[in-house]
Amino acid sequence: MGNKVKIAKSTYCGRFAPSPTGPLHFGSLVAAVGSYLDAKFNDGQWVVRIEDLDWQREIKGAASHILHILEALGMEWDGQIIYQSQRLAHYQAALDELNQRDLIYSCVCSRKEIADSSIVGINGSIYPGTCSRAPIFTKDVRALRVRTHHGPIVFEDFLRGLCTQNLKQEIGDFILRRADGIYAYQLAVVVDDAQQGITHVVRGADLLDSTPRQIFLQQLLGYDIPHYMHLPVVINAAGEKLSKQTRAPAIELSYALTYLVQAIRFLGQNPPVEIAQGDIASFWRWAKKNWRIQQIPRDPTQGINSCA
Ligand code: GLU
């Protein structure tokens, strides 16, 4: 990532993977800018993927709005945009492979049953494994869960250091395909990161908790494990993460440069006044050359607490 020693050309591929659940807001802009600058500083590729699997949460027009804003902000992606909704066969193939190796099982438990019989972890109820012990055969559509184990998942986050999680204990057997048939984010993101050749995942620290689940699936599926860097998360005055749910305002293109300058300042970068008051092209020229990950603030309040 953006250290003094640059990574050799062509070994770096980063990505921005928004869910089209609303317009692009400042919180997602920070993730987009951080992943873009880290890729460009390292002479890498940067791809954009629209994570539109959950049609119930999708807002019509949001994907094209996000792409339009990125383009207008001068953020150039490499290759074709991919849409997860068009890649279902790839997720099913990964599930089939796990199924052949008896690594997944179907689950008929309702939310209420799970809530009644489990303890609550960092990510909601920890599934007690009821259906893995006594398989129930029914024609109903069922959720599919992956069998986790007690071995710790350990990874190095570029900002947070060594992070550890025991999936069985802290998360439980997690869902790869929901009972409504929708493939889970954890599965789709792993398949896509591998198939797109992503080497560096730079995203918000709200996803730090998900990384051990993703590394676990990468291990099961024999994929390469990318490098990870989780950026500090933007919060509003009430201390909530900026998101559609917390009514984060959309980026307005009339203030494009101001937003970009605020985004890199949030990431600890210090553009000189003439850059902050100049134009978008000079902004990017400066930012791509002067990206310093050492200056990004580390926010230990976000994500799993077992990071060094
Ligand atoms: N689609 C996710 C989101 O918009 C991001 C996924 C990722 O970066 O891994 O929050």
Locate 121 and state its tokens: 């972890």
Give the tens place of pLDDT for each residue, 262-282.
999 999 999 999 999 999 999
- Segment 234-239 shows an average pLDDT of 80
- Number of Cβ atoms within 10 Å of the Cβ of 151: 11
Locate 47 and state its tokens: 């791809």
278 CA to middle of ligand 1, Å? Answer: 31
Residue listed under structure tokens 């409504």: 180
One-letter amino acid of 183: Y
- Residue 65 placed within a domain: yes
Residue listed under structure tokens 């986790």: 148
Of the listed ranges 70-79, 133-142, 199-208, 276-285, the least confidently predicted one is 133-142
The number of folded domains in the chain is 1
Q: Using an 8 Å Cβ cutoff, are 144 and 104 in contact?
A: yes
DSSP characters over 192-221 = HHHHTT--EEEEEGGGGGGHHHHHHHHHHH
Print the domain residue range for 46. 13-87+230-307
Locate 303 and state its tokens: 């994500």
For residue 2, pLDDT over 60 is answered with no
Q: Which of 91, 104, 111 is nearest to 174 (CA)?
A: 104
Phi, psi angles (nearest 5°) of residue 258 = -60, -45
- Residue 62 placed within a domain: yes
pLDDT recorded at residue 19: 96
Selected residue with higher pLDDT from 9 and 56: 56
- Residue 302 placed within a domain: yes
Q: Using an 8 Å Cβ cutoff, are 234 and 241 in contact?
A: yes
18 CA to middle of ligand 1, Å? Answer: 5
For residue 224, how many C-alpha atoms fall within 13 Å in the half-sphere facing its CB?
A: 15
Q: Using an 8 Å Cβ cutoff, are 159 and 297 in contact?
A: no
What's the CATH number where 262 sits?
3.40.50.620
- Residue 236 placed within a domain: yes
Phi, psi angles (nearest 5°) of residue 131 = -75, -15
pLDDT recorded at residue 4: 45
One-letter amino acid of 17: A
263 CA to middle of ligand 1, Å? Answer: 18
Give the tens place of pLDDT for each residue, 67-115.
999 999 999 999 999 999 999 999 999 999 999 999 999 998 888 777 7
Q: Using an 8 Å Cβ cutoff, are 167 and 216 in contact?
A: yes
User: What's the chain's Rg over C-alpha atoms?
Assistant: 20
The pick from 203, 211, 228, 242 for probing ligand 1's pocket by mutation, whose C-beta has the most ligand atoms within 8 angstroms, reads 203
- Segment 15-42 shows an average pLDDT of 96
pLDDT recorded at residue 3: 46
Q: Is the CB of 207 under 6 A from ligand 1?
A: yes
Bridge-partner residues for 13, per DSSP?
45
272 CA to middle of ligand 1, Å? Answer: 31
User: Strand 45-50 relative to strand 82-83: parallel, antiparallel, unpaired?
Assistant: parallel
pLDDT recorded at residue 114: 78
Q: What percent of the chain has pLDDT over 90?
A: 73
Atom of ligand 1 nearest to the CA of 21: 4
**3-class SS of residue 34:** helix
pLDDT recorded at residue 138: 61
- Segment 280-299 shows an average pLDDT of 95
Q: Using an 8 Å Cβ cutoff, are 122 and 209 in contact?
A: yes
- Residue 77 placed within a domain: yes
For residue 12, how many C-alpha atoms fall within 13 Å in the half-sphere facing its CB?
A: 22
Selected residue with higher pLDDT from 116 and 152: 152
Residue 300 pLDDT grade (very low, low, confident, very high; cuts 50, 70, 90): low
Q: Is the CB of 27 under 6 A from ligand 1?
A: no
Locate 119 and state its tokens: 């303890």
For residue 172, pLDDT over 70 is answered with yes
Atom of ligand 1 nearest to the CA of 193: 9
Selected residue with higher pLDDT from 229 and 109: 229
pLDDT recorded at residue 137: 60
- Segment 246-256 shows an average pLDDT of 85
Q: Using an 8 Å Cβ cutoff, are 38 and 293 in contact?
A: yes
For residue 240, pLDDT over 90 is answered with no
186 CA to middle of ligand 1, Å? Answer: 10
